[in-house]
Amino acid sequence: MYWDREFETMPREKIRELQLERLRATLGRVYNNVPFYKKAMDERGIRPSDIKALDDVRKLPFTVKKDLRDNYPFGLFAVPMDDVVRVHASSGTTGKPIVVGYTQNDINTWAGLIARALTMVGAGKGDVVQNGYGYGLFTGGMGVHYGAEKIGATVVPISGGNTGRQLMLMQDFSSTVLTCTPSYALYLAEEGENAGLDFKKLPLKAGVFGAEPWSERMRRQLEDKLSIKAYDIYGLSEVLGPGVSMECPAQEGMHIFEDHFLAEIIDPESGEPLPFGQQGELVFTSLTKEAFPVIRYRTRDITMLSEEPCSCGRTHVRMRRVTGRTDDMLIIRGVNVFPSQVESILLEFGETEPHYLLVVDRKGNLDDLEIWVELSEKWFSDKVRQLEEVEGRLKERIASVLGISARVKLVEPRTIPRSEGKAKRVVDKREL
Amino acid sequence: MKIKQISIFLENKSGRLARVTRVLGEKKINIRALSIADTTDFGILRLIVNDPDTAFRALKEAGFSVNVTDVIAVEVTDSPGGLADPLEYLRDAGINIEYLYAFLTRASQAALVVFRVEQIDEAVKVLQLKGITILDGSKVYDL
């Protein structure tokens, strides 16, 4: 089933023509409307008119997360604020989030892409979509919501958390599609099992899981426990939100919606483009975004692309599961976390050379974050109350900056291992 | 009238306490009194030793988080209600006690208790006015 047969099955030759046409239009707009992009292109002596073939995209400079941060909050918007109908934001590395904007057309495009994604997994009118992605500044909740409405499904905007209620409504409302992070889905499955719930007897048929890395092993567990088909969805707020690519029933990679995004794979070290089939960093250029277009945005996600024809009939390239990152970003309970965020908090607390370690684990299928902080002399007191106060204040600040709660554990000085003068900041014990 | 207490931060891991006492032993330091306050994750070991300055340096060199706090050593009669007297005097003066602990052994008629209070000078004054004996450092360290 296709939502948009014409575009989803377009011959590759025609897709490339369409991409070039849309790329040129996008470049014209950003060159004229976004000083950052104009400057970046001028510095390289490139004009939008120099892009005559799709491969010419390689002449354009990359955009990185820092550029988005430096232009906080609206510096990279390509339309007047009057035309921006919504903003979303993701956690940044220094406390200030990265803000993205959408025009009404952008919102419609996004809903259309989610509609494609849901249709791809067999959802449509008559389905009940239980949307367990977080609603709010995070793109997940509202992104999926509008697309689910667009296909005529009944949306249950339950957002994340509140497991008891999730399980109750899943039964009472006869939910047929579950959308949430894969780790939360697994948690729901186990909690349901513990409560004696037989998922085989529920009408639930498909899960659209994303916003964090997962594995084939988790897919088998989810499909088995929830008695559904589990599909991977990919996206990032800088480029759109969920719905940049989506797995089809063949379950062999996610189709990137190439009529809206131009994908490249590059060598993360040299920045050189790599051919299909080679593993590297995924880079996106938006082709239709109005409010927040991005040019060669480096996602830091490691994957590979395949142009092989797919049994589902769609012609868009497929990306393999994301297997890693080129930076130190962690995804914990669907939230992006950088160790440097913890560092900046410790600096705020007056530490001049903070030593800390993020210990990530999965307990009962839920991500668990414990932050070890070496106790410095100035924090140490002979009174337990005072140390617990330090722990408490750190915990509060971490929750507010990271957007997820973490346990704080004070440890003795010089007990966090250092290697070659540079401390190891993360121990990730999760098995995906 | 004040004596120096050494406090050491300890993670709840096996062998940490042994390490502290070994470090002190190697420096020929004698422990006069000790107490441990513990939470799920960590503990604070508090010590009265015969040579606090050397103990502090040795522990710091061994990589521990250490600090020195002033406390008072209060002599109480070794009989029922003996501890209640000084506690009531401090309560009546509005002085809060952070914590207290007893000395390990003492062969005499009186018992020795370490008091950790915020308003230490005031506490000394109040207790002495009531005729309670507070030992000074030199006496305690040489016990």
Domains, chain A = 1-327 (3.40.50.12780), 332-428 (3.30.300.30)
Residue B88 has pLDDT above 90, yes or no: yes
Cβ-based contacts under 8 A for chains A and B: 49
**How confident is the model at residue B104, as a pLDDT?**
65
Chain A contact probe: residue of B19, B38, B41, B70 with most A CBs at under 10 A: B41
Helix (H, G, I), strand (E, B) or coil at A52: coil
Tokens of B136: 């000074």
DSSP A82: G
Q: φ and ψ at B76, to 5 degrees?
A: -125, 150
Concatenated DSSP letters of A116-167: HHHHHTT--TT-EEEE-SPPSSSHHHHHHHHHHHHTTPEEE---S--HHHHH
Report ipTM for this prediction.
Answer: 0.85
Q: Best interface-test mutation with A: which of B9, B47, B56 has the largest number of A CBs within 10 A?
A: B9
Contacts of B61 in chain A (CB under 8 A): none
Q: What is the predicted pLDDT for the residue at A306?
A: 97
**Strand order from edge to edge, sheet including A206-210:** A154-156, A128-131, A177-180, A206-210, A229-236, A241-247, A254-256, A318-319, A305-306
Integer Cα distance of A390 and A379 in angstroms: 7
Mean residue pLDDT across chain A: 93
| pLDDT recorded at residue A421 | 55
Whole-number pLDDT of residue B105: 59
**Domain B70-141, CATH among 3.30.70.360, 3.30.70.260, 3.40.50.1820, 3.20.20.100:** 3.30.70.260
Structure tokens at A252: 């062999």
**In one letter, which amino acid is B31?**
I
CA quadruple B94, B97, B101, B103: dihedral positive or negative? Answer: negative
Contact in structure between A329 and A151 (CB atoms under 8 Å):
no
> Nearest chain A Cα to B37, which residue?
A384
Cβ pair A412:B11 closer than 8 A = yes
Residue at A57: amino acid letter: V
Which pLDDT band, with edges at 50, 70 and 90, does A419 fall under? low
Share of chain A above pLDDT 70, in %: 98
pLDDT score, position A403: 85
Element (H, E) at B71: strand B66-77
Confidence at B108, pLDDT banded by 50, 70, 90: low
Condensed to tens digits (0 to 9), the pLDDT of residues A282-320 reads 999 999 999 999 999 999 999 999 999 999 999 999 999
Q: How confident is the model at residue A127 (pLDDT cuts 50, 70, 90)?
A: very high
Residue A344's pLDDT band, with cuts at 50, 70 and 90, is confident
Q: What is the CATH number of domain B2-69?
A: 3.30.2130.10
Nearest CA to CA, how far is A382 from chain B (Å)? 6
Residues 353-392 of A with CB under 8 A from B: 375-377, 380-384, 387-388
| pLDDT tens-digit series, residues A136-187 | 999 999 999 999 999 999 999 999 989 999 999 999 999 999 999 998 999 9
Distance between A392 CA and the closest CA of chain B, angstroms: 13
The residue extents of the domains of chain B are: 2-69, 70-141
